[in-house]
Amino acid sequence: MRHDVTELAISCIDAKELMLEFDFKKALGTAALGAALTFGSANAVVADIVPQVIAGEAAGEGQRGMQAVANVIHNRMNKTGQSAEQIVKKKKQFSALSDKQMMDRNYEQVKDQADKIANDLEKLPDITNGATHYVTKSLYNKRKDNPKSWISKMEVVATIGNHVFMKES
């Protein structure tokens, strides 16, 4: 018995129930079954990455600092048309991604706050004055006068906690 793929459109939630009804190996093939079963779990990981990055970047800065990081993510979304997940996953943009253990540890400490901030990302008032970038104060002070540094080409628009927030001038 052959089933059309449209007939077997599955989500991660429905996969176990559908497995009881259909022989997926025959209907879709082993590779499609693997992709279908992992699709939902991959989405869950992607959805969690935004609050994890917010926490990883600014858990020690409290609610205001985490909101400022969320504002930068949102400002970049507005500028590029990309999703929050696409923004935070860009290489060399959020240092928390390079230290997964620190990011996870920080996230566990402020999970509820970071989740709420990430969920409200598009509704939060922008306390960064349109910033699209930020660095620590110490990094800013080291590089602000270096004409080869991208930092020297930015306009400072806010200082919140231990971070200097900037946008292109």
Please tell me the distance from the alpha carbon of residue 102 to that of residue 33, in angstroms, as a whole number.
34
Angle at 81 between CA 79 and CA 82, to 5 degrees: 110
pLDDT at residue 105 in the model:
82
Write down the pLDDT at residue 47.
56
Q: Which helix (H) or strand (E) holds 163?
A: strand 163-168
- pLDDT band at residue 116 using 50, 70 and 90 as cut-offs: very high
Tokens of 73: 């993510």
Q: Which residue has the tokens 């018995």?
A: 1
Whether this model's pTM surpasses 0.75: no
Sheet holding 163-168, edge to edge: 133-136, 163-168, 154-160
- pLDDT digits over 60-89, tens only? 999 999 999 999 999 999 999 999 999 999
Distances (CA, A) of 105 to 26, 47, 146: 44, 18, 34
